[in-house]
């Protein structure tokens, strides 16, 4: 066999091999994600969105539930660092106390994305971007709705009780800040009681029972930092022989299906939307960050305000 023929046969064999053997698949992106917990309908929808988006995008997701404890999140993040994941994402239980573990991630050259909640750190370069709602604006929207309603009874003093979210968490701090900022425009609007309900239905009911025992019919408005606490409080109001939505105006934040059902039943007056369906945006941001593409430091989700008057019409459109 001459050398030319051997060359042709070798080329043919290589071509056949290349045609029949698939190219090696690109290594899947590996994300370590630490979730706050499962304290509400909102949080459950947020978790489902992230897991579904990861599956759809072919991303390997290492998921850890912190059960609302910061120490569990710190352990999870250190575990992700040890596993050499491509990127870490987490929704922080509270704002402070993250500098040390985030420096460890930075030293390991693993980028971090914050989802839903912000952190308070000395060096903003410890995380790549923050994806989530503007909680201060959500509080303002709740306050603006109440200001408009108060115009119907301009001479009446309006006593407000407030169910705050988890102590030290970004949504609790910011939703209070935004609400207080807006209602300060009307001196007749006064928060007479404010206490944490930990974003849970059971604690919301328990704290509202205490508010009712202390203040009774002096309460005109309930402002809850999330729908689950509001729904728990509605039970307490009913058990006290009062009508939620009428005897006590109920304002809450999140926009979950349970809130729309309460509005349709006439027991809740308004919910300010906080969109939990962050999964697709998170996956795209993660790919961009790992590829060293420029991303905004802050990505805000688009949201609305839903008063009871539109609840029945809007309910079929709700995805969470």
**216 falls within a domain:** yes
Same domain, 94 and 199: no
Same domain, 93 and 146: no
CATH number for position 53: 3.40.50.2300
Same domain, 75 and 106: yes
- Residue 239: φ, ψ to 5°: -65, -20
Give how many domains the chain has, as a whole number: 2
Same domain, 78 and 196: no
Same domain, 73 and 60: yes
pLDDT of residue 302: 84
Mean pLDDT of 100-126: 97
Question: For residue range 150-183, what is the model confidence (pLDDT) as tens digits?
Answer: 999 999 999 999 999 999 999 999 999 999 999 9
Question: For residue range 184-231, what is the model confidence (pLDDT) as tens digits?
Answer: 999 999 999 999 999 999 999 999 999 999 999 999 999 999 999 999
- For residues 58 and 155, what is the distance between their CA atoms, to the nearest angstrom? 59
Same domain, 146 and 238: yes
Burial string for 289-311 (b: 16+ CB within 10 Å, else e) reads bbeeeebeeebebebebbbbeeb
Q: What is the mean pLDDT of the chain?
A: 93
Query: What is this structure's pTM?
Result: 0.86
Tokens coding 48: 């489902």
Same domain, 97 and 140: no
Same domain, 110 and 142: no
**313 falls within a domain:** no
Same domain, 189 and 240: yes
Same domain, 151 and 229: yes
Question: Could you tell me the pLDDT band of residue 27, with boundaries at 50, 70 and 90?
Answer: confident
Contacts of 50 (CB under 8 A, 6+ apart): 33, 35, 61, 63, 115, 278, 279, 282
- For residues 116 and 132, what is the distance between their CA atoms, to the nearest angstrom? 4
> Is pLDDT at 71 greater than 60 in this prediction?
yes
Q: Would you give the end-to-end CA distance of the chain in angstroms?
A: 72
Instruction: Compute CA distances 61 → 42, 57, 291, whole Å.
Output: 20, 10, 18
Contact in structure between 229 and 163 (CB atoms under 8 Å): yes
- For residues 15 and 9, what is the distance between their CA atoms, to the nearest angstrom? 10
**316 falls within a domain:** no
**47 falls within a domain:** yes
**74 falls within a domain:** yes
**114 falls within a domain:** yes
Contact in structure between 230 and 204 (CB atoms under 8 Å): yes
- Residue 131: φ, ψ to 5°: -105, 120
**20 falls within a domain:** no
Question: For residue range 45-58, what is the model confidence (pLDDT) as tens digits?
Answer: 999 999 999 999 99
Same domain, 207 and 265: yes
- Residue carrying structure tokens 């109920």: 250
Tokens coding 240: 């006290």
**320 falls within a domain:** no
Per the structure, the complete domain to which residue 178 belongs is given by 135-274
Same domain, 173 and 220: yes
pLDDT of residue 26: 67
Contact in structure between 227 and 250 (CB atoms under 8 Å): no
Look at residues 153, 166, 158, 236 and name the one whose alpha carbon lies nearest to residue 202. Answer: 236
């Amino acid at each position: 066999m001459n050398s030319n023929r051997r060359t042709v046969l070798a080329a043919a064999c290589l071509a056949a091999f290349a045609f029949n053997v698939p190219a090696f698949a690109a290594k899947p992106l590996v994300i370590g994600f630490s979730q706050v917990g499962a304290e509400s309908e909102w949080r459950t929808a947020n978790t489902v969105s992230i897991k579904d988006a990861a599956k759809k995008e072919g991303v390997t997701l290492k998921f850890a539930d912190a059960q609302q404890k910061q120490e569990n999140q710190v352990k999870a993040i250190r575990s992700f660092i040890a596993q050499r994941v491509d990127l870490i994402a987490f929704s922080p239980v509270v704002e402070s106390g993250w500098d040390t573990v985030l420096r460890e991630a930075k030293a390991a050259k693993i980028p971090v994305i914050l989802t839903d909640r912000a952190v308070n750190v000395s060096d903003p370069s410890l995380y790549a971007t923050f994806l989530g709602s503007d909680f201060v604006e959500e509080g303002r929207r709740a306050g603006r709705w109440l200001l408009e309603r108060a115009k119907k009874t301009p001479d009446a003093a309006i006593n407000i009780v407030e169910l705050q979210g988890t102590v030290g968490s970004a949504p609790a701090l910011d939703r209070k800040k935004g609400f207080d900022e807006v209602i300060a425009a009307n001196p007749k609007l006064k928060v007479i009681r404010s206490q944490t309900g930990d974003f849970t239905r059971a604690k919301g009911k328990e704290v509202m029972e205490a508010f009712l025992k202390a203040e009774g019919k002096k309460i005109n408005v309930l402002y809850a930092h999330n729908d689950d606490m509001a729904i728990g409080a509605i039970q307490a109001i009913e058990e006290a022989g009062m009508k939620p939505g009428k005897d006590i105006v109920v304002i809450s934040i999140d926009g979950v299906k349970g809130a729309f059902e309460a509005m349709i039943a006439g027991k809740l007056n308004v919910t300010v939307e906080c969109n939990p369906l962050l999964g697709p945006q998170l996956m795209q941001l993660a790919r961009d960050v790992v590829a060293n593409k420029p991303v905004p430091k802050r990505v805000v989700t688009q949201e609305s305000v839903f008063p009871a008057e539109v609840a029945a019409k809007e309910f079929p459109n709700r995805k969470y």
